[in-house]
Amino acid sequence: MEFQLLGPFAALHLGRPVLTGLRRQERCLLAVLALEAGRAVPTGRLIDLLWNGEAPPGARSTV
């Protein structure tokens, strides 16, 4: 897998584009996990990043 994080987000497998989510939250989640590869990312940090500090009540269970 190859992730392109600068400019438009893209994910490639063997040089071919992989369908990625169209929603900002999905792209953000993939980008954060790619940047933190091999490390645990706290749920609270993901929630803050995905909803810009304004998470809905069910955010923790969604993540």
| Structural Rg of the chain based on CA atoms | 13
Non-local CB neighbours of 22 within 8 Å, separated by 6+ positions:
none
| Beta strands at 2-4 and 16-17: parallel, antiparallel or unpaired | unpaired
Nearest Cα to 1, choosing from 27, 25, 26, 14?
14
Ranges of residues in the chain whose predicted pLDDT is under 70: 20-22
* Cα–Cα distance, 56 to 27 (Å, whole number): 18
The confidence score (pLDDT) of residue 21 equals: 62
Query: What per-residue confidence (pLDDT) applies to 40?
Result: 94
Q: What is the pTM of this model?
A: 0.65
